Amino acid sequence: MSNARPIPAAAVRVAYHEELNDGQRSALLSWLSFTGTFALTRGITYSIRAGRGPFRNLSAGGEHLHHYLWGIGMLAGVGAIAVRGEDRHRRHPGVAVCYGTALALIVDEFALLLDLKDVYWARQGRISVDLGVGGSAVAGTYLAARPVLRRLARDQTSTAAPDPAGDPSPEPAQSAR
């Protein structure tokens, strides 16, 4: 059983801002949005495939619109901001979130972009891709968040254990015989 207490959101916010520089915060936000978008996209596409839930395929003129199209559009917007936007716009957290989201939408259907046959739903291919990309997303998110996680762990242990140097009542000295 663990004695760990829940970490308040304020502590996470402080650690996020004090432990990460602008570039590290952007990387973490990109990884978080990539991981979340990939997981959500997998869930939605599996529910569409199973015919469950409120989601359906989106079509225009009888043609299915793959979600990589939305990713490419978002990535074009991020690129436009990167090339022409002011520094404050390029560093905006929304840009990092859009970047990670766009990449997840594209990577999820990468085989179609390479003009391979539609192996999207071939069981052995789909499971290996889901595990590979999902594992990479979780690992990247963890690595980007490590400074924040270390800070939170350090703060948690420093508040849990009393400081022996700060103890106002020192033990009596042993007499030497």
pLDDT digits (tens, 9 = 90+) for 69-127: 999 999 999 999 999 989 889 989 999 999 999 999 988 887 666 655 555 556 655 66
Structural domain contains residue 5: no
The residues that bridge with 42 in the sheet, in sequence order, are: none
Place of tokens 């390479």: 114
For residue 60, what pLDDT band results from cuts at 50, 70 and 90? Answer: very high
Q: How many independent structural domains does the chain possess?
A: 1
Structural domain contains residue 84: yes
Structural domain contains residue 172: no
Q: Residue 100 sits in which domain range?
A: 21-153
Among 148, 141, 149, which residue's Cα sits nearest to residue 34? Answer: 141
Structural domain contains residue 1: no
User: Which range among 33-37, 43-47, 129-133 shows the weakest confidence by mean pLDDT?
Assistant: 129-133
Spell out the residues 6+ positions from residue 129 whose beta carbon is closer than 8 angstroms to its own: 111
Among 144, 143, 112, 115, which residue's Cα sits nearest to residue 129? Answer: 112
Structural domain contains residue 142: yes
**pLDDT by residue (tens digit) across 144-156?**
999 999 999 898 8
The residues that bridge with 145 in the sheet, in sequence order, are: none
Question: How many other β-carbons are positioned within 10 Å of the β-carbon of residue 171?
Answer: 6
User: Which range among 14-28, 41-55, 155-169 shows the weakest confidence by mean pLDDT?
Assistant: 155-169
Structural domain contains residue 165: no
